[in-house]
């Protein structure tokens, strides 16, 4: 018979992080960097990610389930575009934290507004991530457009 007072009961912490943004903001690239290996397909072409994909990061402190979502497009007229746009919102109601990636080398537009509108409705904690700052240096820097967020 085991003595429960001498047993160590370890509680594992688990959280879910959803990466969101418009196409080509670097969501999949960030996930690859966090995981220190290629777990998500990346490409300079928009809409490389078309379905939500989940990856688990684990260490002795706990687990983080990362959900890499397709970029939210502004105006879509084709069936594939509409279906792709429906993927990311499915993940929001399960998120503990939402990482909203913005590409400051590109001006804020209707795609960004659509993403922000979806994220605002969520009760999850939110983190705004400025990405592609290296591309924006020496060019038009749209940082002031995002600072209000």
- Looking at residue 102, which CATH number applies to its domain? 3.40.50.300
DSSP code of residue 113: H
CA distances from 132 to 4, 99, 102, 135 (A): 53, 15, 8, 5
pLDDT value of residue 138:
63
pLDDT value of residue 6:
46
pLDDT value of residue 8:
53
pLDDT value of residue 122:
92
pTM score? 0.79
Assess if residue 19 is contained within a domain.
yes
Assess if residue 2 is contained within a domain.
no
- Domain with 76 in it: 13-147
Number of domains in the chain: 1
Regions of the chain with pLDDT less than 50: 1, 4-6
């Amino acid at each position: 018979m085991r003595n429960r007072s001498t047993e160590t009961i370890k509680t594992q912490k688990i959280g879910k992080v959803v990466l969101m943004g418009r196409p080509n903001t670097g969501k999949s690239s960030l996930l690859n960097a966090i995981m220190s290996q290629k777990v998500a397909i990346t490409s300079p072409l928009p809409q490389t990610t078309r379905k939500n994909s989940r990856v688990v990061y684990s260490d002795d402190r706990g687990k983080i389930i990362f959900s890499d979502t397709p970029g939210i497009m502004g105006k879509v007229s084709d069936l594939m575009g509409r279906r792709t746009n429906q993927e990311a919102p499915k993940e929001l109601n399960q998120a503990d934290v939402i990482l909203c990636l913005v590409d400051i080398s590109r001006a804020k537009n209707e795609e960004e507004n659509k993403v922000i509108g979806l994220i605002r409705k969520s009760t999850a904690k939110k983190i705004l991530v400025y990405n592609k700052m290296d591309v924006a240096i020496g060019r038009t820097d749209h940082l002031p457009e995002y600072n209000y967020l």
